[in-house]
Structure 1
Amino acid sequence: MRKIYLLFILVFSSSLTVAQKDLSYFLPDSLEYDSSIPTPESVIGHQVGEWHVTHDKLVYYMKALAAASNRITIIESGKTYEDRPQLLLTITHPENHKNIDQIKRDHKNLTNPELSNGLDVNEMPSVVMMGFSIHGNEPSGSNASMLTAYYLAAAQGSDIEDKLKNVVVLLDPSFNPDGLNRFATWANIHKSENLVTDPNDREFNEVWPGGRTNHYWFDMNRDWLPTQLVESRNRIAQFHAWKPNILTDHHEMGTNSTFFFQPGIPERTHPITPQKNQDLTAQIGEYHAEFLDRIGSLYYSKESFDDFYYGKGSTFPDVQGAVGILFEQASSRGHAQESVNGVLEFPFTIKNQFTASLSTFQAAYEMRTELLTFQKDFYKNSKQMASQASEKAWVVSDLDQSKLFRFAEMLDRQEIEVYKLAKNTAGFDSDNSFIIPTNQNQSRLIKAIFDVRTSFKDSLFYDVSAFNMGMAFNLDYKSLDNKGFNSSLLGERFTADQKPNSNIIGGKSEYAYLMEWHDFYAPKALNKIHKAGLRTKVSTEEIVLSNGETLAIGTILIPVKQQNQSAIQIYQIIEEAITETGVKVHALNSGNTSGVNLGSPSFEPLTKTSIAMVIGEGISPYDAGEIWFLMDQHYEMPITKIDVNDFRRADLSRYNVLIMPDGRYGSMGSQMPKIQSWLQTGGTLIAYQSAAKWLSDQKLTKVKFKKNKADTIGYEAYEDLGNNRGAQVIGGAIFEVELDLSHPIAYGLKKEKMPIFRNTTLFMEKSKNQYANPLRYTQSPLLNGYISEENVEKLKGTSAVSVSRVGAGKVISFTDNTNFRAFWYGTNRLFMNAVFFGQTISGSSAE
């Protein structure tokens, strides 16, 4: 009898029958609502929070609202990679809608000191951009967006009318449509009629890669500044079209938490952010506290989170005269889940997010003139600071025209003025350089993009501690002072249609072509050439043409007579392959080149790549997604994604390149003989970070990693435990490596040293075979960001890339992420060289 009783208690405690919450649960009960405005239930077929709203239903509802309300207009700002629409609702008083274009122009002009003096902020509405659920599996935000939109459309009374006259709300119901839909489907298909609240239930434990990310498994809340993803580009265009005063970013955190709103930890605010921004953030926080008090919700502020990296949604506005606000709500991760605070129901998480939207709306109304004045003064002060600063302009340069173009394109998306360098200056060639004057409206953002700092008030970071874009792109760059800069250096203004030109120098050849390898899109061209069936070789020595021009190691040879296609067909294949790139190809009529001739054994034959990548449980979806994105979006190269659970069934003979992203590979231990056998036949295995460590632990390679010794710091206060451990983390900083430019891994690179991004404490010892260490950390490796003194000592002189031989194959081990967040264009080259040229690395040069 006792056993039955205990069983009853366990079953009862892990299930819950929850009454559906109607609108009265969420909405302020002091107002009346227009009955002609459709409620969420009337469109999506269920109450808010009863089910997780799928993106299609969210779109239907927002369009229905816009059709019914004269307070709302709606646009489609773009499409996601999965072809879902991104929406933006403009919600304000009908009278404002009559001249909304003028309101928009005037508000944008507040950010231009040359135009803002004629604007009276007392007569202007404030603008709030409310953004929901950029992480798809943090869905309370997007579900709350329906309530927010309904409230603003349907609430009646003089109070709401006055607020709408003085505030324009830009509402994006889903920053991440693809991720939201993925997660909603997961939560809904595992919902029981009698809700299971046990955290062990499958409903709360998504399968890999989860719904947090977008289609390519990116954390889009790190892409506000780089804007490498299509969703980000669409969103940023709307941000700059309006320049809102407040931007809210609705997230979720651990189930046992409560509710967080900014400001974050004061010491972890980026120094470029003005103090007034943080003061306003704290002032707005008082509204959040008041509104959450009304509904009895627990909350906190000034802890846990920071405002340092400008690539996050809540920090990005802080360097542009606006106030970014992060909301973090404890997550039910499904429909209801047990927590230390009791059973956390999904409708309650939605209610908190909705309440924070109302408090933001109230703050935007009551603080309207202060917010508008701050925005106006921010740009005036920034312009004045820029005029007084020693840096008058930044010059950026690179022989890689495509990479340089992508850098300028990124700045252009952020409304930063970029110009062609009109004439040679300070050692920069005008043909390969851009110039960015600092005395412009986005001067603070420019300062952030080129920021370098290695000392900090606090050693803990919520995200990366360095994000210098000049380093990320591996550009030559330099600031110009008063003596070095004058307006005559400003050439044509950059526009996004000024793409680099490809060129076949010499026209059609009957003998051979030489394709230079330094352009970012050279791998794309080579893949197309291979796909068309042409034979190619890569030069391991410099080639001197008859005109005296020297082509670097890594140049691709495409002979004519040794192909199955005619000379004209070969010419057309190459011409099509280099279209939309900056790749240069030289047509030769003789192999009698200086240095080495074209028939020299110094040319290594290449084979068409067939690439597979291991993905799945335990493997970082971010790292895997970055590789997938690079291959698919930039290089148009197919890559087979093999789940770890399917690896034993996969026929590896189909592939000559296998990629293992960072992750845990313990479940694949039984597959080591299969991997080793594949390598013996000549495959190239590219392993990142923990994958490289795992291969070493499995004795497949002789690569050695330094061991982390146990702390011996003696007695410390318990309250300092987290900080002391956190100080040893390398959350993301930039370091210097030296390269062997003659090594295949470095083909196409021109400088013997380059910046590399590191976010791991794995330190790979140099191989005893000096030829197996093509990249090594210098003796003074820190360029930008935070690293503890202990770790910088460990890092000095270690290997960043190590090459191991296994039979006829190679294992190329990377300690660092060369493809980080899609904006590390500078080190993408290292990865692509491993893909194409790993097969050519001499066995005697590998460990």
Structure 2
Amino acid sequence: MKNIFTFIIAISSFYFSYSQNTDLTYYLPEGTEYDPKIPAPESVIGHEVGQWHISHDRLTRYMYALAEASDRVEIREYAQTHEARPLLVLTITSPENHSRLDEIKSSHVRLTDPAVSDNLNIKNMPAVVYMGYSIHGNESSGSNAALLVAYHLAAAQGTEIEKTLNETVILLDPSFNPDGLQRFSGWVNSRKSHNIITDPNNMEQNEMWPGGRTNHYWFDLNRDWLPAQHPESRGRIALFHEWKPNVLTDHHEMGTNSTFFFQPGIPSRNNPLTPAKTYELTNRMGEYHARALDKIGSLYYTKESFDDYYYGKGSTYPDINGAVGILFEQASSRSHAQESEHGILYFPFTIKNQFTTSLSTLRAVNDMREDFLNHQRTFYKEASAEARKDQSKAYVFGSKDKFRNHHLAELISRHQINIYHGSEPMSINNIRYGADELYFIPLEQSQYRLIEAMFETRIEFQDSLFYDISTWTLPLAFNVDYKKIDSKAFDQKLLGRPFDSNKKPTGEVVGGKSAYAYAFEWYGYYTPKMLNDLLVNGYKVKVANEPFHSPDGKKFERGSILIPVQIQNGSRDRIHADLTMLARENGVDIYALHTGLDYTGVSLGSPNFNNIKKPQVMMLVGEGVSPYDAGEVWHLFDQRYKMDISLVPIDVFNRSDINKYTTIIMVSGTYKEINDTAREKLKQWVQNGGTIVASETALTYLNSINLGKFDFVKTNDNDSNEPAKYADIRQTRGAQEIGGAIFETNVDITHPLFYGYYKKEMPVFRGNKIFLEKSKNQFANPMVYTDSPLLSGYISLPNLNSLKGSSAAGISNYGRGQVIGFTDNLNFRAFWYGTNKIFMNAIFFGPLISNASGR
């Protein structure tokens, strides 16, 4: 007992020592001399590292000052954030290497080309290390440590640093997420007391919603490496492939009561597409980190948390690209200091650990340089050999939606994958597609393994727990038809022109100028944008609830949009010019109709056409609401469809008049902050004709206040009632979570929620255990999970049984209004293009849905 008490006192004293103001001697290696001509951080940013949280503007200022002063450092802006902040990379190496940097880069990249890599001599080839910090803006010890790493590499003197710089090219990215870092530093610095407050309940330690973790649109950028839907990620991926680094470090933070984690992660959760050599190198690097942390007395652990499964994370994306990704997780002070189980955790201490492991990374790479270079060469040679042996020779995908096809091809091509347009028509899954609707990806290319990772479906796993999602099959995410083509069916003649992401799909007005009407189909991804543009500009627009035909026999399915000419305010010439521009910009053909008569379908004056009103949309945001889900909707409206959406905090909603809104969006959340008065106001608003579009746990909230008739399936998480070991609690309960998998639903394409879809099968992404009972009203189940719903990913047997045959969407009538509910997130991480249209149909067509289809 005495020994334990002594240990606690020692640890507390150890942490307490960091309460004092620190200078560079606290962080930097003992015995290292530094060039006095190189500016230390304090001389530029105005304070010692760790005294305040670095803001992005000061971080940028220091990096430019360093590049100006040092011949070891070059700097460039490789992208800008949504808020126009620069993303910077410092290329740091010896002056001699800088003089031949293009040659070094070219030679290094050729190491990934199996056709020439054997001819390269790696004996004197520098390794390339990409060091990235604080992709979560409120995990800021990383970016603060970047100040020290950059200074050390620019100013340190001696044989060790000279050897490192001669044998390594370092790409230092001081802030993966500038917008989040700026938001967080503003919060924590503006709430810092002169006397450092360590209370976890203190305001400084508790950010307000949505916090600084995410980017401008509240996305987790550490889940965007593979989808690359944001400018930060697109720039970073381009930089990655420009250099093809051997190692990428990803510096994070975790809970305050933790210590320090470095990879390897949990071995049973490694992605099977990653070669064993990657983990062997990771293990060997871990020994360097351990020695460095031992030296400064820091507690750490490894192999007990996190994983290397989802290739959309910074520490895992390199693994499928011939490199080694390393995750570092530091216990977070979340402020300048905070009480923890180990004593008071001071911000400078968190920075020191990140700095220390940055240097241990460089030591490991320096010592293992040839091993990393050989691994990179071997990775691509083996991938090339696997591709040649594969009896399948290409993937082909297609759909009737030009832009959905284009955006999937665009996503794939960002990762240095060759993709081609089709050269002739082909059937996929019994649907005939034209050459312009098809895209081919040959498998015999260097990124063979990454292609497989993008397209594979997997339902069997070594482990049933996942740190992130268990699948991400891209053609299912985009809801395009796809298949593999074997060697017998494949022919190079199937490949048309190479895909060029700059050549976007276009549309046209077909049939000349009309004095009667125009119409366009609802298949295109950007049709909601077109419709909104028309409504904003005063056009009177109708939607078809039954098929109709043009005089030449073209069939327009339900959901097609009709623009009668005579009821518009503009001239015929103006209308034609507007529609020509919209067709071209949105890749949607608009057809001129010169008569309203249709004896095959409905004529254009039929009551089966409904007028569409411009929606006035608000979304509830704030405490208790998922910022990720809310950000996805905000991004969809703002970036994709250029539509107005009011983001209304719940406390403002509680005291506001909401009668001007036609639609209220409620994404997953608890909504406990809605007060009693506002709850009644919301009910009255729906009763008067308003539409709520709700998803996931918002449904359970609405059900609890009797604003919606949603009955949920009762679940049983236990596979067995047999006694189980206490040690297995975490594993057993964790296995019942649905971290993210893909399931098949059947949809009613005659229902307004599914206008623009032409197949009854719909893949959806699910990450929750909300199972909705089917309605007894036979018209009220427009989207139902099939009896064998699992397409890819992990789900436990009890959850699978609960999901089978359950409803994924429902409409609940309330007075003259309704609640449209979805059990799943239809806008997941901005790359789930395939279900975005369902969500937008709820916005535009929700008020038109018949009460007879309510639950």
- TM bin, normalised by shorter chain, reads over 0.9
1:550 matched to which residue of 2?
555
1:6 matched to which residue of 2?
none
1:803 matched to which residue of 2?
811
Given that 1:426 and 1:484 are in contact with CA atoms closer than 8 Å, whether structure 2 keeps it comes out as: no
In 1, Cα distance between equivalents of 2:765 and 2:543: 28
Q: Does 1:528 align with 2:533?
A: yes
In 1, Cα distance between equivalents of 2:325 and 2:169: 16
Q: Does 1:617 align with 2:618?
A: no
In 2, Cα distance between equivalents of 1:286 and 1:580: 55
SS at match of 1:394: strand
| Deviation (angstroms), 1:590 | 0.7
Q: Deviations over 1:690-747 (max 9, x none)?
A: 1011111211111111233475624211110011110110000000000000000000
1:58 matched to which residue of 2?
59
Given that 2:506 and 2:583 are in contact with CA atoms closer than 8 Å, whether structure 1 keeps it comes out as: no
Q: Match for 2:666 among 660, 667, 680?
A: 660
Q: Match for 2:484 among 461, 468, 479?
A: 479
Given that 1:612 and 1:640 are in contact with CA atoms closer than 8 Å, whether structure 2 keeps it comes out as: yes
2:383 matched to which residue of 1?
382
Q: Does 1:674 align with 2:681?
A: yes
Paired residues for 1:683-832 under 5 Å:
683-709=690-716, 711=718, 713-832=721-840
Counterpart code for 1:290: R
SS at match of 1:82: coil
SS at match of 1:580: helix
Q: Match for 1:461 among 457, 466, 469?
A: 466
The runs of 5 or more residues in structure 1 that have no matched partner are 1-11
In 2, Cα distance between equivalents of 1:651 and 1:96: 65
Q: Does 1:642 align with 2:643?
A: no
2:412 matched to which residue of 1?
411
Paired residues for 1:426-575 under 5 Å:
427=428, 428-575=433-580
| Deviation (angstroms), 1:426 | 5.0
Higher mean alpha-carbon deviation, 546-555 vs 306-315, is at: 546-555
Paired residues for 1:126-141 under 5 Å:
126-141=127-142
Q: Deviations over 1:408-454 (max 9, x none)?
A: 00011111100011223454532210000011011100000011110
Q: Does 1:333 align with 2:338?
A: no
In 1, Cα distance between equivalents of 2:47 and 2:67: 20
Q: Does 1:596 align with 2:594?
A: no
Given that 2:256 and 2:332 are in contact with CA atoms closer than 8 Å, whether structure 1 keeps it comes out as: yes
Paired residues for 1:125-204 under 5 Å:
125-204=126-205
Paired residues for 1:9-408 under 5 Å:
18-408=19-409
Counterpart code for 1:349: T
SS at match of 2:103: helix
| Deviation (angstroms), 1:15 | 11
Given that 1:615 and 1:621 are in contact with CA atoms closer than 8 Å, whether structure 2 keeps it comes out as: yes
In 1, Cα distance between equivalents of 2:441 and 2:762: 22
SS at match of 1:457: coil
In 2, Cα distance between equivalents of 1:463 and 1:478: 27
In 2, Cα distance between equivalents of 1:213 and 1:708: 33
Higher mean alpha-carbon deviation, 135-144 vs 543-552, is at: 543-552
Given that 2:260 and 2:300 are in contact with CA atoms closer than 8 Å, whether structure 1 keeps it comes out as: yes
Higher mean alpha-carbon deviation, 209-218 vs 547-556, is at: 547-556
In 2, Cα distance between equivalents of 1:367 and 1:306: 23
| Deviation (angstroms), 1:17 | 9.5
Given that 2:547 and 2:557 are in contact with CA atoms closer than 8 Å, whether structure 1 keeps it comes out as: yes
In 2, Cα distance between equivalents of 1:141 and 1:408: 34
SS at match of 1:332: coil
Given that 1:16 and 1:196 are in contact with CA atoms closer than 8 Å, whether structure 2 keeps it comes out as: no
1:7 matched to which residue of 2?
none
SS at match of 2:129: strand
| Deviation (angstroms), 1:228 | 0.4
In 2, Cα distance between equivalents of 1:145 and 1:493: 40
2:5 matched to which residue of 1?
none
1:605 matched to which residue of 2?
611
In 2, Cα distance between equivalents of 1:320 and 1:623: 30
Higher mean alpha-carbon deviation, 707-716 vs 639-648, is at: 707-716
SS at match of 2:590: strand
SS at match of 2:166: helix
In 2, Cα distance between equivalents of 1:803 and 1:720: 41
2:9 matched to which residue of 1?
none
Higher mean alpha-carbon deviation, 616-625 vs 158-167, is at: 158-167
Residue correspondences, number:
836
Q: Percent identity?
A: 53
Higher mean alpha-carbon deviation, 403-412 vs 672-681, is at: 672-681
In 2, Cα distance between equivalents of 1:66 and 1:690: 50
1:834 matched to which residue of 2?
842
Counterpart code for 2:621: I
In 1, Cα distance between equivalents of 2:229 and 2:61: 28
In 1, Cα distance between equivalents of 2:721 and 2:271: 30
Higher mean alpha-carbon deviation, 122-131 vs 641-650, is at: 641-650
In 1, Cα distance between equivalents of 2:17 and 2:315: 36
In 2, Cα distance between equivalents of 1:715 and 1:34: 66
Counterpart code for 1:95: E
Q: Deviations over 1:597-616 (max 9, x none)?
A: 00001111110111100000
2:7 matched to which residue of 1?
none
Given that 2:479 and 2:833 are in contact with CA atoms closer than 8 Å, whether structure 1 keeps it comes out as: yes
SS at match of 2:34: coil
Paired residues for 1:625-636 under 5 Å:
625-636=631-642
Given that 1:113 and 1:380 are in contact with CA atoms closer than 8 Å, whether structure 2 keeps it comes out as: yes
Given that 2:136 and 2:252 are in contact with CA atoms closer than 8 Å, whether structure 1 keeps it comes out as: yes
| Deviation (angstroms), 1:576 | 2.9
The runs of 5 or more residues in structure 2 that have no matched partner are 1-11
CA distance change for structure 1 residues 742 and 212 in 2, over 3 Å: closer, same or farther?
same
Q: Deviations over 1:629-664 (max 9, x none)?
A: 010000000100000111122221211111001011
SS at match of 1:662: coil
In 2, Cα distance between equivalents of 1:15 and 1:634: 50
Given that 2:717 and 2:799 are in contact with CA atoms closer than 8 Å, whether structure 1 keeps it comes out as: no
1:4 matched to which residue of 2?
none
1:8 matched to which residue of 2?
none
Root-mean-square deviation (CA), in Å? 1.4
SS at match of 1:284: helix
SS at match of 1:227: coil
SS at match of 2:496: strand
Counterpart code for 2:796: S
Q: Match for 1:577 among 571, 574, 582?
A: 582
Counterpart code for 2:81: T
| Deviation (angstroms), 1:16 | 10
Counterpart code for 1:138: E
Higher mean alpha-carbon deviation, 140-149 vs 281-290, is at: 281-290
1:5 matched to which residue of 2?
none
Given that 2:738 and 2:767 are in contact with CA atoms closer than 8 Å, whether structure 1 keeps it comes out as: yes
In 2, Cα distance between equivalents of 1:698 and 1:825: 32
| Deviation (angstroms), 1:810 | 1.7
Given that 1:128 and 1:168 are in contact with CA atoms closer than 8 Å, whether structure 2 keeps it comes out as: yes
Counterpart code for 1:302: K
Counterpart code for 2:710: V
Given that 1:611 and 1:655 are in contact with CA atoms closer than 8 Å, whether structure 2 keeps it comes out as: yes
SS at match of 2:131: strand
SS at match of 2:75: strand
In 2, Cα distance between equivalents of 1:292 and 1:43: 29
